[in-house]
Chain A
Amino acid sequence: MAFLSNPIGKKMLMALTGIVLFLFLVAHLLGNTTVFGGQGWINAYAEHIHSAMFAPPLWAARVVLLACLGLHIALGTLLFLENTKAAPTKGTFVTYKEAGLSSRTMFYTGLLILAYLIYHLLHFTFHSVHASISVSAFPPDAQGRPDLFRSIALSFQRPVIAGTYLLAMAVVCLHTFHGVFSSLQTLGLPGKASLPVLKRAGQVLATLLAAGFALVPVAVLTGWINL
C-alpha cells in the first residue's frame, strides 16, 4: 500500500496497466488483419478464438484486461484530481514548450476512449446497437460459422459508423502518442542517449497502431473490402 500512496508508485501502476492495454491493442490489430484475407479468414479466426479450446485463456485475458482497465481508469482519475488540486492556475499567460496536445489531454482522451469502448462492445460483442447489421442478424456463412465479415462490411459501409470509428482511432492515437513513451519513462527505462529515441519510437508505434485499426473502415468505405 505504501507503494500506491507514493506519487511514483501510482504512476508506475498506471504505466504497467497502460502497457498491458496497449499490448492487447497490438494483439487485437493482428487479429483484425484477417479481414483482409476475406470472409473465410476472419470468420474462421472469430470462430477459433470463441471455440471451447480457447475459452480458458480467453476468459483469463478478459479478467486481466478488465482489471487493468479498471485500475488504469481509477488511478488516472485520482492522479488527475490530485494534479488539478496542485495546480489550480498556471497564470494568465501560459506557453508550452515541450508538452504537446497529446500529453495535456490524456485524461480527456482517456474518457473518450472509454465511451468509444462501451459503444464498440455494444456494437460487435453484445450486438445491441446496430442490431440489424450485427452478426446475430445474419445466417451463418457457407461453412456454418457466424458471419462476422458481413457484419463488418455492412457496418462500415455506413459513413456515420465508419466516421465514428475513424474519429475514435484518432483519439486512441492521441492518447497513446504520449502514453507509450510516458509509461517507459515512468518505469525508469530511458537513459540520456535512449530517451529521444524511445520517445520517437513510442510516437511512431502509436501512430502505426491507430492507422492499422483505421485501415479496416477505410478499406470498406473505398470498396477494397466488399461483400
Chain B
Amino acid sequence: MRFHLKVWRQEGPEAPGRFFDYDVDDIIPEMSLLEMLDKLNEELIKKGTPPITFESDCREGICGTCGMVVNGSAHGPQPKTTTCEIRMRHFQDGEAITIEPFRAAVFPVQKDLIVERAGLDKVIQAGGYTSAYTGTHADANAILVPKDDQEYAMDAAACIGCGACVAACPNSSAMLFVAAKIAHLGTLPQGKPEEASRALSMTEAMQEEGFGACSNHFECQAVCPKGIRVETIARLNRAFLKASLKRLA
C-alpha cells in the first residue's frame, strides 16, 4: 500500500510548526500506523533528515502514551481504537493522511507530534486516589461489591488517561477523564468515603490547569479509545452537587 502523508512538524515548544508532505510506499496492510511512521523514520534517517518525533510505549492500546490526531480524529478514524492499534488496512490505498499533535492550550507541543500532558497528572494528584490504608492482600470477597458496581467501576477504570477527550473537546475540557476517575473510585467501597472531596478537588484542579468546562458536545465519547460514556459525566455532576450541598451544610 502507498500513502501520501501530511505530518505536523515543529522543532520545539516555541518554534513555529507546519505540515510536511511525505510519500510512503511498500506498506503492509497489517502494519499499525506507528509502524508505518517507524518505516518512514528509517527512510528519513537514511536520508539524513531528522525523524518524526512521536510517543509510544505498549503499542497494544493499554498505556495511553501514543495519541495523535489522524484525519481530524483524536487517535484516528477507527472507533474505540488507540493510534497504535490502527492498522493501515483501515485506510484506502493511496489515501492522503493528515497527522497532527493533540491540540489544547494545556497540551503544549514539545516536538512534532509530542505534547506535554502533565495537566492530567496534576488533576489526578488533586484527588484521583484513595488514601485508605489497604494493608496486605485481603481475602478475595472479604469486601462484597455488587456485580453491577464491579462492572461499572471496571468500565470506568478502563480510562488510560491518553488525553484524546481533551484533544477532541471544542473546549479542551477534561470532564470525561475526571468523570471516569470519579466513577471508577466512587463506585467501590475503598473509594466511596472520599467521593465528595474528590469531585470538588479534581474539578477545581481541572480549571486551575487551564482545561475548559463541559458544553455537552459529547465529542469526547466519540473518540475515547476505551469507550468511556458521557453518562459518567452526569454522575460526576451529581457527585459535585452532593459535595457542594454537603459543604454548605
B72 touches A95 (CB 8 A): yes
User: Is A143 part of the binding interface, using a Cβ–Cβ cutoff of 8 Å?
Assistant: no
Inter-chain contacts of B100 with A (CB < 8 A): 91-93
Which residues of chain A from 7 to 36 have a CB within 8 Å of any chain B CB?
Answer: 7-12
A103 touches B207 (CB 8 A): no
User: Is B159 part of the binding interface, using a Cβ–Cβ cutoff of 8 Å?
Assistant: no
Given the known A-B contacts A7-B214, A86-B105, are A91 and B72 also in contact in the complex, defined by CB atoms under 8 Å?
A: yes
Inter-chain contacts of A85 with B (CB < 8 A): 105, 210, 212
User: Distance in Å from the Cβ of B90 to the closest Cβ of chain A?
Assistant: 15
A195-B221 Cα distance, complex, nearest whole Å: 13
When the two chains form the complex, which single residue of A2, A88, A94 contacts B105, counting CB atoms closer than 8 Å?
A88
User: Is A104 part of the binding interface, using a Cβ–Cβ cutoff of 8 Å?
Assistant: yes
Given the known A-B contacts A6-B240, A8-B236, A93-B72, are A182 and B104 also in contact in the complex, defined by CB atoms under 8 Å?
A: no
Given the known A-B contacts A82-B212, A98-B219, are A190 and B171 also in contact in the complex, defined by CB atoms under 8 Å?
A: no
As a 0/1 sequence over residues 53 to 74 of chain B, the CB contacts with chain A under 8 angstroms (1 = contact) are 0000000000000000101110
Given the known A-B contacts A89-B103, A93-B72, A98-B222, are A181 and B212 also in contact in the complex, defined by CB atoms under 8 Å?
A: no
A98 touches B212 (CB 8 A): no
A3 touches B244 (CB 8 A): yes
Given the known A-B contacts A3-B244, A86-B105, are A10 and B234 also in contact in the complex, defined by CB atoms under 8 Å?
A: no
A9-B244 Cα distance, complex, nearest whole Å: 9
How many residues of chain A are within 8 Å of chain B by beta carbon?
43
User: Is B233 part of the binding interface, using a Cβ–Cβ cutoff of 8 Å?
Assistant: yes
Inter-chain contacts of A186 with B (CB < 8 A): 214, 216, 237
How many residues of chain B are within 8 Å of chain A by beta carbon?
49
Given the known A-B contacts A103-B216, A181-B216, are A93 and B98 also in contact in the complex, defined by CB atoms under 8 Å?
A: yes
A192 touches B213 (CB 8 A): no
Given the known A-B contacts A91-B103, A97-B223, A192-B231, are A8 and B237 also in contact in the complex, defined by CB atoms under 8 Å?
A: yes
User: Is B173 part of the binding interface, using a Cβ–Cβ cutoff of 8 Å?
Assistant: yes
Inter-chain contacts of B173 with A (CB < 8 A): 7, 83, 86
Which residues of chain A from 97 to 118 have a CB within 8 Å of any chain B CB?
Answer: 97-99, 103-104, 106
A216-B71 Cα distance, complex, nearest whole Å: 46
Chain B: CB-nearest residue to A87: B172
A185-B178 Cα distance, complex, nearest whole Å: 16
User: Is B42 part of the binding interface, using a Cβ–Cβ cutoff of 8 Å?
Assistant: no
When the two chains form the complex, which single residue of B71, B171, B235, B236 contacts A93, counting CB atoms closer than 8 Å?
B71
Stretch at the interface among B25-33, B81-89, B127-135, B198-206: B198-206
Given the known A-B contacts A93-B71, A104-B217, are A187 and B237 also in contact in the complex, defined by CB atoms under 8 Å?
A: yes
A100-B207 Cα distance, complex, nearest whole Å: 25
Which residues of chain B from 140 to 190 have a CB within 8 Å of any chain A CB?
Answer: 168-173
User: Is B34 part of the binding interface, using a Cβ–Cβ cutoff of 8 Å?
Assistant: no
When the two chains form the complex, which single residue of A2, A99, A195 contacts B231, counting CB atoms closer than 8 Å?
A195
When the two chains form the complex, which single residue of B69, B200, B207, B217 contacts A99, counting CB atoms closer than 8 Å?
B217
A2-B218 Cα distance, complex, nearest whole Å: 26
Inter-chain contacts of A5 with B (CB < 8 A): 204, 207
Lowest 8 A-B CB distances belong to which pairs?
Answer: A86-B212, A188-B238, A188-B237, A97-B222, A95-B72, A99-B217, A83-B171, A7-B213
New A-B pairs, 8, CB < 8 Å, besides A6-B200, A92-B19, A98-B219: A7-B207, A7-B212, A11-B214, A87-B172, A91-B103, A93-B98, A188-B239, A192-B229
